[in-house]
Amino acid sequence: MREVPKQTVMAIKSYQNQAQLLVKNYLFADPFIPYTSILGGILACKVAYDLTQLISNFYSKTYPGLTKIQRVEWNNRLVSCMI
């Protein structure tokens, strides 16, 4: 295995320290931010899922004929394409 140059190791450690400071000073400076972002992400996923269902009802002729399980699979595939 090849030895990594000391300059590269120092650069990586510098980036790690900067990332840790960013997280400490900005993300966790206010305990409200992480919880808000988690809830916002959940809400965004729910909205995207509901939009796929709404779009499928209007634009797909075969969607109303699907079983409940098939509709769930259809919506999951559309959400994964959107994200």
Tokens found for residue 11: 């650069």
pLDDT computed for residue 23 by the predictor: 85
- Taking 90 as the threshold, does the pLDDT of residue 24 lie above it? no
Q: Three-class SS of residue 1? A: coil
Q: Is 26's pLDDT higher than 90? A: no
Taking only the tens place, the pLDDT of each residue in 48-70 is 999 989 988 888 889 889 999 99
What's residue 2's pLDDT? 81
**Which ranges of 23-62 would DSSP assign to H, the alpha helix?**
32-59
Higher pLDDT, 79 or 43: 43
Average pLDDT, the chain: 88
Secondary structure (3-state) at 2: coil
Number of H helices and E strands in the chain, helices first, is: 3, 0
Residue 56: Cβ within 10 Å count: 17
